[in-house]
Homo-oligomer: A and B are copies of this chain.
């Protein structure tokens, strides 16, 4: 199966995506037909410039005071706290150094305090307590239309050409405010994603769903951070009863001391085709197709913040999705293959791998009435 799968990774690039690490870049928004024909239908990403230049947010959100005043009478917001910025990611469990899937500490705070935590993390010196906390506003429960509704007139409710192409309004619109330390690890979503940056920059690594086996999706024990404001320290605790989360094992940015070990553990990723790279700037929108694996880092604006809005539109569960599930169901190497490395035999067969069901997001999202009927489990993450 090795040869056939490697041919698939190559062919989708040769036929459709291109052999460079760049994605298509449009200078202005496409027509709905062009968007649907050239990108959505082909499950192919693109970056669109001059897409949101008319949004008041592009200028008004550059000042913290505008945001804090606008949200001063809103209810508390949900801020995600971690010690190192990697919320919903694999981290070594302190007791034994085995990797676990760590969810952040979620705290309800007035927006002003949440924003202060985000910007002071960035600007703090190394002796301050605050630098031990990385705060990220990244609640993915349609929060822009709920917690942040006071800001709704600063952005479009939806992306008109995408709405017309996809035939429905967005299922969820989320606001993201983070700093340079916030990272989202490789995962995928069961949504068509229109990702608009308002301030700062977002840096995406993208891999098509055909590259499933290159992500080494494995089951990891679920854990959760809890943060003590008194001590300023985090504790990481395994969930009880134990729960296992299928997640991508690959960290694409290796520290020098890890390079050799990680590359030998995940050769299909590191020795195969390079991921597509894309930086999204204010005014631009990334079309991130459903089921694509993506890893996200960010660069802050002058105020230490990266701000983005994303629009999740329902995807079609069509022949592409059926083919993807078929691919998933196949092992990279036959289990009878005597040359099989140990890691390759541990693929999860979970129905919902490295997406939100992992994180309990489904309940959260459904409870708000946004999701009624999603084939193949629910999703999360930017």
Contact = CB atoms under 8 A, between A and B. Distances in A.
B33 A165 contact: yes
A319 interface: yes
Interface in A282-330: 316-327, 329-330
A36 interface: yes
A55 to B, nearest CB: 25
Binding site of A, secondary structure by majority: helix, strand, loop or mixed? Answer: helix
Contact of A4 (B36, B330, B375): B330
Contacts of A325: 7-8, 11
A85 interface: no
A322 B33 contact: no
A230 B16 CA distance: 54
A25 interface: no
Counting every copy of the chain, the complex holds: 2
A326 B41 contact: no
Contacts of A11: 322, 325-326
Contact of A36 (B16, B41, B329): B41
B42 A326 contact: no
A15 to B, nearest CB: 5
Contacts of A12: 319, 322
A327 B326 CA distance: 9
What size tier do the contact residues of chain A reach? 35 or more
A37 interface: yes
A240 interface: no
A363 interface: no
A206 B41 CA distance: 22
A166 to B, nearest CB: 7
A166 B36 CA distance: 10
A42 B4 contact: no
Contacts of A334: 334
B318 A319 contact: no
A327 B41 CA distance: 20
Given A15-B321, A375-B15, A326 B7 contact: yes
Nearest to A319: B43
Interface string A155-168: 00000000011110
Contacts of A336: 336
Interface of A: 1, 4-5, 7-8, 11-12, 15-16, 32-34, 36-38, 40-44, 164-167, 208-210, 316-327, 329-330, 334, 336, 375
